[in-house]
Every structure is written in C-alpha cells, then in structure tokens.
Amino acid sequence: MAIKNQLDALLQEKMDRKDFLKYAGGVVLAVIGVTGMVRMLLGSRSITGLGDGQTNGAKKSNGYGSSSYGK
C-alpha cells in the first residue's frame, strides 16, 4: 500500500513541463539502466569490445550444426 500512496501523491503533485521531463528521464534511466543507455547510444552489444573472449567475426558453434554431419 505504501507504493500506491506514493504514486497517488506523485500524480497529485503539480509540475510544469520541465519538471515532468526531468522526472520522466530519471524513470527511463532507472528502468533501462545507465549501461543499457550507453550501449543503445553506441549501437554495440558490448561496451568493452573484444576483450571479453570474443573473436573478430568468427563464431564458435557447438552442437548438431557444428559438424559436417549437420550441414
């Protein structure tokens, strides 16, 4: 019930457009997270690049499709 009361209080608070945009931006950052936002802006899957064991362009595959039998 405490969250509902806080939400009701927030919805009753008067704010102008600038305050609303600040609040909405903070909520978006909290939901997505700072690292997610940076990844989205940079357009990459990894912030660190190739340092986490990935090879440049080569994909390792295991399982049924990796052998000549599966091709």
> What are the residue ranges spanned by the domains of the chain?
16-45
pLDDT for position 16: 93
Average pLDDT estimate for 49-57: 52
Exposure string of 6-42, with b = 16+ CB inside 10 Å and e = fewer, is eeeeeeeeeeeeeeeeeeeeeeeeeeeeeeeeeeeee
pLDDT band at 1 (very low <50, low <70, confident <90, very high): confident
pTM exceeding the 0.85 threshold for the entire prediction: no
pLDDT for position 31: 84
Angle at 53 between CA 47 and CA 59, to 5 degrees: 100
pLDDT tens for 9-42 read: 888 889 999 999 998 898 888 888 888 878 888 8
